[in-house]
């Protein structure tokens, strides 16, 4: 008899049971003050189309300022965007974007999406040490628990001159499982509430957002100086697919298959195939366990 799939922990709360929650902007400010994201401006809106689209538009008009990172959080997105053209509703989670000024040429963005995923995973561990070991990273930038998607990241960019760009980093982080979103994405989802010893829907979204922003600001400083290379060991320690058989997919088509052999210092996936080791650059590909 084949192994039965793992049963989600009994604590998992479904979206319908998530109490109404709001970001406590005063508490958020206190969490940022004195930390690496202290100068970041945060705005919270009830509803928008897409926080990424909003900040992309704002960045096209904004004067360049090395330190002027801007954060936009929305409780509801009516046209939230995921990778590969998929929608992202995210009603049962934190949905926000950061417009991050980076004095870098586009070629130096390699590995940024991995660095962002790592920062989110580390932030969850900052909030609750019990989260740490359970949160895995799936190349290039999904967070997952037991193979279920916990968070997705969409990075877009706006050029702002030679060696300057705005990276618009959109993050959808599930607080609880959302059956409607599972159906829309065709994937099993996880929620932060499952990983925390005592998830508090009134307090924890603000704590998590503050921790993520501080981690992102810390990551930014490292990335600007040295790129992804110094972050690669920490990313690898959370690599959910290391040494696993995987397929790379695009639009449902299998592009390559082999054994995932981790990432290099630029954040490229190392795939051991029948034709030898291939370096897969970040892009429109998805990774699935070969048995999936």
Question: Which residues are at the interface with ligand BTN (CB under 6 A)?
Answer: 50-52, 77, 80-83, 86, 88, 90, 95-97, 152-154, 170-172
| Minimum CB distance to ligand BTN, residue 229 (Å) | 25
Buried b (16+ CB within 10 A) or exposed e, 168-207: bbbbbbbbbbbeebbeebebebbbbbbbbeebebeebbbb
Cα-based torsion angle of the residue sequence 220, 224, 226, 227 in order, rounded to the nearest 10 degrees: 70
> Which residue's CB is nearer to ligand BTN, number 52 or number 122?
52
HSE value, Cβ hemisphere, 13 Å, CA-based, for 168: 21
> Which residue's CB is nearer to ligand BTN, number 120 or number 260?
120
Cα Dmax for the chain: 63
| Minimum CB distance to ligand BTN, residue 80 (Å) | 4
Q: Cβ neighbours of residue 4 under 8 Å, at least 6 residues apart? A: none
HSE value, Cβ hemisphere, 13 Å, CA-based, for 251: 1
| Minimum CB distance to ligand BTN, residue 63 (Å) | 23
Reduce the DSSP state of residue 264 to 3 states and report it.
Answer: coil
Q: Cβ neighbours of residue 75 under 8 Å, at least 6 residues apart? A: 22, 44, 45, 46, 47, 95
Note whether 271 and 261 are within 8 A (CB). Answer: yes
> Which residue's CB is nearer to ligand BTN, number 62 or number 184?
184
| Minimum CB distance to ligand BTN, residue 254 (Å) | 20
Beta strands 276-280; 245-250: pairing state: unpaired
| Minimum CB distance to ligand BTN, residue 276 (Å) | 30
> Which residue's CB is nearer to ligand BTN, number 50 or number 122?
50
> Which residue's CB is nearer to ligand BTN, number 51 or number 214?
51
> Which residue's CB is nearer to ligand BTN, number 47 or number 225?
47
| Minimum CB distance to ligand BTN, residue 92 (Å) | 12
Note whether 178 and 16 are within 8 A (CB). Answer: no
């Amino acid at each position: 008899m084949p192994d039965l799939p793992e049963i989600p922990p009994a604590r998992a709360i479904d979206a319908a049971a998530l109490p109404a929650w709001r970001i406590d902007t005063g508490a958020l400010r206190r969490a940022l003050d004195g930390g690496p994201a202290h100068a970041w401006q945060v705005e919270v809106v009830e509803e928008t189309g897409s926080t990424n689209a909003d900040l992309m538009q704002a960045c096209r008009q904004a004067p360049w300022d090395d330190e002027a990172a801007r954060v936009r959080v929305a409780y509801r997105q009516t046209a939230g965007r995921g990778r590969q053209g998929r929608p992202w509703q995210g009603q049962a989670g934190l949905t926000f974007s950061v417009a991050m000024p980076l004095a870098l040429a586009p070629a130096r963005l390699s590995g940024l999406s991995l660095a962002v995923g790592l920062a989110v995973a580390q932030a969850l561990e900052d909030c609750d040490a019990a989260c740490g070991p359970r949160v895995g990273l799936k190349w290039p930038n999904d967070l997952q628990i037991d193979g279920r998607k916990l968070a997705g990241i969409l990075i877009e960019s706006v050029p702002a001159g030679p060696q300057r760009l705005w990276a618009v980093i959109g993050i959808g982080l599930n607080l609880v499982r959302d059956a409607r979103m599972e159906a829309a994405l065709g994937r099993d989802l996880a929620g932060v509430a499952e990983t925390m010893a005592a998830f508090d829907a009134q307090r924890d979204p603000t704590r998590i957002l503050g921790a993520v922003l501080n981690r992102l600001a810390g990551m930014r400083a490292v990335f600007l100086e040295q790129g992804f290379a110094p972050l690669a060991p920490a990313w690898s320690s959370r690599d959910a697919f290391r040494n696993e058989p995987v397929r790379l997919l695009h639009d449902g088509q299998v592009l390559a298959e082999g054994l995932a052999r981790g990432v290099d210092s630029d954040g490229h996936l190392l795939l051991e195939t029948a034709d030898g080791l291939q370096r897969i650059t970040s892009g429109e590909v998805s990774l699935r366990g070969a048995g999936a």
